[in-house]
Each structure stands twice: as structure tokens, then as C-alpha cells.
Amino acid sequence: MKKTLLASSLTAVLAAGFAAPSLAETDLGSGFSLTGNATIANDYRFRGYSQTNFRPAVQAGFDIAHTSGFYVGNWNSNVADNVFNEANLEMDFYGGWRGELGGGLGLDVGVLQYWYPGSDTTPIDGKGGNFKNTDLYVGFSYDVFSLKYSYTPTDFFNTPDSKGTWYLDAAANFDLGNGWGLGAHVGYQKLKNQVDMNGDSIGHYVDYKLGVTKDLNGWVVGLAAVGATDDNWLPTKKGKESGRLGAVLSVSRAF
């Protein structure tokens, strides 16, 4: 569960340290290009919450883009089977359009589908089948700043009566020179029909990230502090708060 104003496949890099490497593009002809990315991290955080029980994640994705601005892509990561019952894999599929509106203002609009093959929704909605979620998003970027709004028109990750959940993501990413980058992020998650580990209703929370990156000849090493204000919305397998403040260390590469 991750995506940004940039091509969605860059999310793993941004989550760890915020400064993405320059993408190496493969020209496919007729205006199409292919880019890919891979990341190894000590934890996978989605909107502040660990998806791997604070354990390592291996992630990879690709984008196919056209000079007209349209793009499609896929991003994948391992997840813990207690987060999405019996699932060990998250697969994200997305498509949209991005381009310049003028005056340095960038626009990115699209749709993102989260899917967890092998998962079982029965404990949540009583219907069975795989966990999934659809987000519609629109984002704006200007200079080092970005703002993105994501809206869920269906039940949020199969939770009954949770349609209309939304998320607002604001970020700033700075090039410090000599391969160093600095990034900050804050997000506001609006929830419907959700309870925390204590069984209490939770209607919203704020998540945050602050990190640095270093580009070492195309290999980007990132370190970020990540957490959420209401850290007990989701538990780990051992019953710990998966949104508690923690460090995410990663090594990423675009190809």
C-alpha cells in the first residue's frame, strides 16, 4: 500500500528517504518508455503502519509511460499474513496521466488498485475472497513540494460500510547536493467504521516521515523516521502497535 505524486513505483524509495534517483528509461518506441525499481528495506510502512511486523521487505515495480503523459504500472511487496489474513504478497496496479499545467505546476491523476492474492476476507466481511482496495487520486507538485488526495469509492480494504475513506498527503523533498537528499512528509487519514486494538472507534490519524538519502552511483541508501499519532490502529502479530515511531533503512535502485 504505497503511492506518490511521482510514478507510483517510486513509493518504496520515497517512503524510506524521500529523494528518488534519476530514472533510467528504456525506449520502447512510438513514444513509450519503460522504467523499473527495486528496494530492500528493514520494514514496509503504509501511511505510518508496518505491513511486515517490523521485518524486512523486498519490493519491485515498473512503469510504462507515453510522451502524451499517460502511464500504467505495477508495484509489489511482501507483507505479513496477519495484516491481510493469509496474504504474503501485495500487488498494486495503477494508471493515469501526469504533466505540466504551466508555471511549474505539475498534475497527476489516476486510479490505483491494491490486491492481496491468497488472502481471505472472511474474518472481516464474512464474504470470503481476496482483500483489495481501489483509490482514485489527484496530485499537484510545485518545485520541491507536493500534495496528493486519495479517495476510496468502495469499502476501505473490505471493511463493511467504510466507503468514502480518504487520505491527504503533503511532502517536501530537497536536493542537498553531492548525492544527498532530505525529505519530510505528513499525511491525514480519514477513516470510517474502524476500531483500534482496544476496540475503540478511530475516525482519523496523522502519519509522518522525516528522512535523508544518499545516492551512491545509482544505489540510493535511505534512512527515515516513520510513525503515526494513533499508533494502535493495527497490531503486529505479537500484539504490538504497528504505527509506533520507528526507523526505516533501505537500499533502492532504478533501472
C-alpha cell at 230: 494513533
What local confidence, expressed as pLDDT, does residue 36 receive? 97
Q: Give me the CATH topology for the region 8-254.
A: Porin (2.40.160)
Question: What b/e string do you get for 144-167 counting C-beta neighbours within 10 Å, with b at 16 or more?
Answer: eebebebebeebbbbbeebeebbb
Domain ranges of the chain: 8-254
User: What is the rounded distance in angstroms from the CA atom of residue 80 to the CA atom of residue 82?
Assistant: 5
Q: Is 125 exposed, middle or buried (0-12, 13-18, 19+ CB in 10 A)?
A: middle
Does the global pTM surpass 0.85? yes
What local confidence, expressed as pLDDT, does residue 3 receive? 37
Q: How confident is the model at residue 107 (pLDDT cuts 50, 70, 90)?
A: very high
Q: How confident is the model at residue 1 (pLDDT cuts 50, 70, 90)?
A: low
Among the listed ranges 18-22, 110-114, 170-174, which one has the minimum average pLDDT value? 18-22
Alpha helices in the chain (DSSP H): 11-16, 122-125
pLDDT tens column, 159-169: 999 999 999 99
What local confidence, expressed as pLDDT, does residue 23 receive? 57
